[in-house]
């Protein structure tokens, strides 16, 4: 968050002026997002997890309804209620708050519901039965229609499917069912790309046959930065050359301003965060909470891979944020809430303890669940 504040503070005025916006537009908005994220972390850490688990199914229904409504009103041209950008309508206008992206709420809701579903069906040995697959297929279809089709947000759809896939894989779902899941996702992806011209355009850009303005300017930023960067105050790409510089393209800004060393440092911080989340998942004594932590890992991992891969022209470019770093309130707030829940989960971990019999001095090793706060 601190790195994001520094970057947005330095590049925000130039980026805003190039778009005809007030000079403090990006930094003031980002500062509010950071405060909201800190509050979200505290909420996630201190409200008991069982309360989140109870609302899992209903939160998915509400989030899907909001995604459906956003996409539908956007296609109907109701821009007084919906915010659209380059043909994609993904945010609802809200008083005071400004806007809300329902897809970000859906990611968190799917985490709560998906972790419960996988843990419950695994406990009852139903991961390969209709008791699991009927609600899962219904969820996949609803997400594909509401988010990928109506909202035209394929990136968020991929992230959600990645979260579910990781939970199912670690939950030891049979390979046959995993293969079916992967096949269904692949078919959905092909169909969604075929019916959306802008996705075909992005594929053409990646292959070098279309408009590669965004990709080329991203790579120019990295090339200009060299090993140690040109400094935040000397960034050229943020003056109108690099689209979405404070948000989706912020990693290219890091590469230009702080160079290869700075870009690697940011990736190391993400790797450390994800390692700690995996560690919490491994040590918690409850399967549902463990699957939740794995889902958060997949959430952050997918965002980093898609964003960084697109900026480096390793995969087709997709508009998606870097967690905690990019300008964007909804994304930061909901992933922060998830991290807060991870902090709470980390206080209930599995530890090996030794009870010694004072008379025989023979130790008996066993597992206990500690309620004290453990490092995260």
Tell which of 160, 195, 230 closes a domain.
195
Whether residue 19 is contained in a domain is answered as yes
Q: What is the DSSP code string of 249-266?
A: THHHHHHHHHHHHHHHHH
Whether residue 256 is contained in a domain is answered as yes
Burial class (CB in 10 A: 0-12, 13-18, 19+), 137: middle
Whether residue 15 is contained in a domain is answered as yes
Whether residue 287 is contained in a domain is answered as yes
d(CA 310, CA 314): 6
Q: Which domain holds residue 134?
A: 54-195
Count of CB atoms situated within 10 Å of the CB of 282: 12
Q: Quote the number of domains for the chain.
A: 2
Tell which of 162, 195, 228 closes a domain.
195
Please tell me what DSSP assigns to residue 285. S
Residues 25 and 103 in one domain: no
d(CA 237, CA 254): 11
What's the pTM?
A: 0.89
Residues 75 and 159 in one domain: yes
Residues 153 and 224 in one domain: no
Query: What pLDDT tens digit does each residue of the chain (376 aa) get?
Result: 999 999 999 888 888 888 888 888 899 989 999 999 999 999 999 999 888 877 888 999 999 999 999 999 888 888 788 888 777 788 898 877 778 899 999 999 999 999 999 999 999 888 888 899 899 999 999 999 999 888 888 889 999 999 999 999 998 888 888 888 888 888 888 888 777 766 777 777 776 676 788 889 999 999 999 999 998 888 888 888 888 888 889 999 999 999 999 999 999 999 999 999 999 999 988 899 999 999 999 999 999 999 999 999 898 888 789 999 998 788 999 999 999 999 999 987 665 555 555 444 444 444 444 444 444 4
Residues 228 and 143 in one domain: no
d(CA 184, CA 192): 12
């Amino acid at each position: 968050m601190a790195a994001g504040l520094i970057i947005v503070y330095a590049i925000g005025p130039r980026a805003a002026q190039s778009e005809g916006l007030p000079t403090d537009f990006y930094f003031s908005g980002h500062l509010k997002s950071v405060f909201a994220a800190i509050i979200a972390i505290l909420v996630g850490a201190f409200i008991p997890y069982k309360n989140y688990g109870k609302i899992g199914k209903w939160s998915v229904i509400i989030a899907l309804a909001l995604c459906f409504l956003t996409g539908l009103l956007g296609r109907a041209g109701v821009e007084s209620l919906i915010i659209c950008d380059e043909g994609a309508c993904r945010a609802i206008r809200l008083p005071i708050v400004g806007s809300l992206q329902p897809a970000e709420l859906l990611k968190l809701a799917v985490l709560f519901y998906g972790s419960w579903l996988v843990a419950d069906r695994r406990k009852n040995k139903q991961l390969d039965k209709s008791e699991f697959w009927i609600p899962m297929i219904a969820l996949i279809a609803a997400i594909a229609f509401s988010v990928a089709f109506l909202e035209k947000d394929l990136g968020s759809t991929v992230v959600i499917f990645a979260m579910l896939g990781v939970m199912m894989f670690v939950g030891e779902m049979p390979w046959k069912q995993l293969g079916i899941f992967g096949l269904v996702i692949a078919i959905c992806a092909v169909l969604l790309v075929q019916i959306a011209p802008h996705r075909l355009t992005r594929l053409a850009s990646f292959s070098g046959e279309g408009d590669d303005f965004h990709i080329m300017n991203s790579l120019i930023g990295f090339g200009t930065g060299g090993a140690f960067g040109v400094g935040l105050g000397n960034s050229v790409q943020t003056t109108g050359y690099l689209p979405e510089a404070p948000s989706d393209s912020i990693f290219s800004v890091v590469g230009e301003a702080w160079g290869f060393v700075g870009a690697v440092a940011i990736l190391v911080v993400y790797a450390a965060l994800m390692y700690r989340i995996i560690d919490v998942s491994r040590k918690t004594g409850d399967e549902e909470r463990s699957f939740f932590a794995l889902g958060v890992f997949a959430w952050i991992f997918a965002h980093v891979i898609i964003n960084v891969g697109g900026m480096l022209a390793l995969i087709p470019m997709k508009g998606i944020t870097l967690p905690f770093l990019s300008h964007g309130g909804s994304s930061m707030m909901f992933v922060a809430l998830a991290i807060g829940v991870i902090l709470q989960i980390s206080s209930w971990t599995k530890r090996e303890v030794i009870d010694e019999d004072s008379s025989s001095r023979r130790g008996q090793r066993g597992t206990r669940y500690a309620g004290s706060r453990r490092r995260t």
